[in-house]
């Protein structure tokens, strides 16, 4: 059978298919479409299946990105190739001789009014956070400045920071999901750095939060960094951390701290994508040359050359194909023992010895 025919047969059966072929997705199935620990990377809330997953098999990992259908989900979560996945699905559906083919269950459609209410709730939440924020140069934002200093970012001119895009909230609610009932409960109020995340068209879409203590350390919570919900079709624009005059060169990084370090060290405007997946799909504004300051990550089964390097190279190839001048800068040398990755914040702050850099350009 062809894959399209298998997908047609699997529609309405993915819950049962996952139970048979990927039991590690059990919690995600039970909690769909809410976030759960990633079955590949662990953590607390890195993965969720889509609301219509029983029809499509799709989900999204905050680190590895969107899995548009059940084939992609099974290949990712089990480390299978396409042939293995295709054969396993045929067998599960009874095409390959299985004596107990998986039954079909029709999914209930999501009401349009519920979706509209979700969008309204998201906008209210985003506006609540932003209206209570102040500029990073404000006296109230001292915990944010101490946090950056603690991370080794000591020579930032906060007048060059785009105060319309990255700000500080003196006291912000922090919620964590209760594993017993799946509900999000207030864990405390903390200072927080907040950054506006734009979509590919440059429109504000959601907010990234970094929860802190008054002393400028990460808040003592399971997830000190969180992305709020969004109602955009994509988030591939990034966070505009710094703007410097009319520069025609734009640096793009994964993290906010790395963007600040690059800006201060190389005197160029810097944006932060948020993670490797969003970096890979980043859409730059028109008329700029792009320099990708990539994270250097340890290789893994899902990302043999390292997630940061792999995503940066995919972005580079796409930008070249679109006629955009672009280059990658990767820290040279080996990743120190005991560290999962090295980024340009480590280089700029002197946390590692990396006197040279590897550049791929065109």
Q: pLDDT tens-digit profile of 61-109?
A: 877 788 989 999 999 999 899 999 999 999 888 875 554 566 554 444 4
270/361 same-domain check: yes
Q: Which of 92, 123, 142 is the last residue of a domain?
A: 92
Does residue 243 share a domain with residue 360?
yes
Tell me, yes or no, whether 202 and 257 share the same domain.
Answer: no
Does some domain include residue 215?
Answer: yes
pLDDT tens track for 174-209: 988 776 666 778 999 999 999 998 887 878 888 999
Q: Cβ of 233: how many Cβ atoms within 10 Å? A: 10
pLDDT at position 185, please?
Answer: 86
Q: Please tell me the pTM assigned to this model.
A: 0.72
Q: Do 258 and 209 reside in the same domain of the chain?
A: no
Provide the phi-psi class of 245: left if phi over 0, else alpha when psi is between -120 and 50, else beta.
left
Mean pLDDT of 139-144: 95
For residues 213 and 250, membership in a common domain is answered with: no
**CA dist 145 to 155, 216, 262, 345, Å?**
11, 7, 17, 16
Q: Is residue 39 one of the residues assigned to a domain?
A: yes
User: Do 348 and 280 belong together in one domain?
Assistant: yes
- What residues make up the domain containing 339? 236-362
pLDDT at 200: 77
Considering the domain architecture, whether residues 207 and 244 belong to the same structural domain is answered as: no
Looking at per-residue pLDDT, the higher value among 96 and 269 belongs to 269
| Alpha carbon distance 96, 122 (integer Å) | 45
Instruction: CATH number of the domain at 321, please.
Output: 3.40.1360
Give the total number of structural domains in the chain.
Answer: 3
345 lies in the same domain as 246: yes
d(CA 161, CA 163): 6
Mean model confidence pLDDT for the chain: 85
Domain assignment present for residue 99? The answer is no
Same domain, 199 and 240: no
Domain termination site, one of 192, 225, 258: 225
């Amino acid at each position: 059978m062809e894959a399209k025919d298998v997908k047609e047969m699997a529609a309405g059966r993915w819950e049962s298919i996952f139970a048979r072929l990927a039991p590690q997705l059990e919690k995600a199935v039970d909690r769909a479409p809410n976030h759960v620990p990633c079955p590949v990377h662990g953590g607390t809330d890195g993965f969720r299946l889509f609301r219509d997953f029983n029809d499509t098999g799709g989900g999204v990992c905050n680190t590895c990105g969107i899995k548009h259908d059940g084939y992609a989900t099974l290949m990712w979560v089990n480390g299978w190739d396409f042939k293995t996945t295709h054969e396993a699905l045929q067998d599960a559906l009874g095409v390959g001789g299985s004596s107990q083919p998986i039954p079909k269950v029709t999914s209930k459609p999501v009401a349009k009014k519920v979706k509209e209410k979700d969008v309204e709730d998201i906008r209210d939440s985003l506006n609540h956070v932003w209206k209570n924020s102040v500029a990073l140069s404000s006296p109230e934002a001292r915990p944010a400045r101490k946090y950056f200093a603690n991370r080794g970012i000591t020579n930032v001119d906060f007048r060059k920071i785009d105060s319309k895009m990255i700000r500080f909230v003196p006291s912000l609610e922090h919620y964590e999901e209760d594993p017993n009932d799946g509900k999000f409960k207030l864990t405390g109020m903390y200072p927080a750095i907040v950054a506006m995340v734009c979509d590919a068209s440059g429109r504000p879409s959601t907010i990234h939060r970094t929860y802190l203590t008054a002393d400028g350390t990460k808040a003592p919570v399971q997830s000190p960094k969180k992305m709020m919900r969004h109602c955009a079709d994509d988030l591939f624009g990034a966070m505009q951390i710094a703007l410097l005059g009319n520069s025609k060169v734009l640096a793009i990084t994964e993290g906010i701290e790395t963007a600040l370090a690059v800006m201060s060290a190389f005197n160029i405007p810097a944006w932060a994508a948020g993670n490797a997946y969003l970096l890979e799909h980043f859409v730059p504004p028109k008329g700029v040359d792009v320099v990708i300051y990539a994270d250097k990550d340890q290789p893994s089964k899902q990302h043999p050359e390292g997630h940061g390097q792999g995503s940066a190279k995919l972005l580079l190839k796409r930008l070249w194909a679109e006629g955009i001048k672009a280059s990658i800068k990767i820290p040279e040398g080996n990743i120190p023992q005991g560290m999962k990755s090295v980024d340009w914040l480590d280089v700029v702050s002197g946390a590692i010895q990396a006197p040279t850099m590897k550049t791929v350009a065109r």
